[in-house]
Amino acid sequence: MGALAYVDTHPKYKSRYYSTGYPDDGYGVCTDVVANAMGAAGYDLMELVAEDIRKHPSDYDISEPDPNIDFRRVRNLKVYFANNAVSLTTDLQKIDEWQGGDIVIFRNHIGIVSDRRNKDGVPYVIHHNDPRQTAYEQDILESRNDIAGHYRVSE
């Protein structure tokens, strides 16, 4: 629900640095969809990633950590979710294992698995991809060949 609430604001796509971490000007990128979804669920992704970087600096390969941007980089979120979430299948044939609210990571992109599904049962992805994107909830899983991870946050 947090991902949908965020994309309902129709953020414009632009990658920028924010001294407070979170965009505050109507712009955003794919990682902001995830950060807002996590925030709506009670998790501060900026703080969680910063804490994980402090605990596991060698996992991240960052020379100078910066909490204001580190949580907005897909490569860092790949590491964070691998360290802190339940790793799930990337096989779309196991479609029952893909649930709304899961996180899907592509080579250079990230999104939230939707509870909406196409006619074959494959879920849509809530994401923010580029300035020309016409919808934020799209049927893209089957058209991508670069799924790098599928995770579920669970306590």
Of the candidates 112, 58, 48, 108, the one whose C-alpha atom is nearest the C-alpha of residue 78 is: 108
Q: Is the pTM of this model over 0.85?
A: yes
Check residue 22 and give its pLDDT.
94
| Beta strand extents in the chain (DSSP E only) | 12-13, 27-28, 86-87, 103-106, 109-117, 123-126, 137-138, 147-152
Average pLDDT, 10 consecutive residues per value, the chain (155 residues): 95 94 95 97 97 97 96 98 98 96 98 97 96 93 97 89
Is residue 147 within 8 Å of 104, Cβ to Cβ? yes
Check residue 155 and give its pLDDT.
67
Check residue 133 and give its pLDDT.
87
Class of domain 2-152: alpha beta
What residue segments make up the domains of the chain, in order of their start?
A: 2-152
Find all residues with CB under 8 Å of 115, minimum gap 6, and list them: 99, 100, 101, 123
Of the candidates 91, 86, 83, the one whose C-alpha atom is nearest the C-alpha of residue 147 is: 91
State residue 153 phi and psi, 5-degree precision: -80, 125
Check residue 154 and give its pLDDT.
85
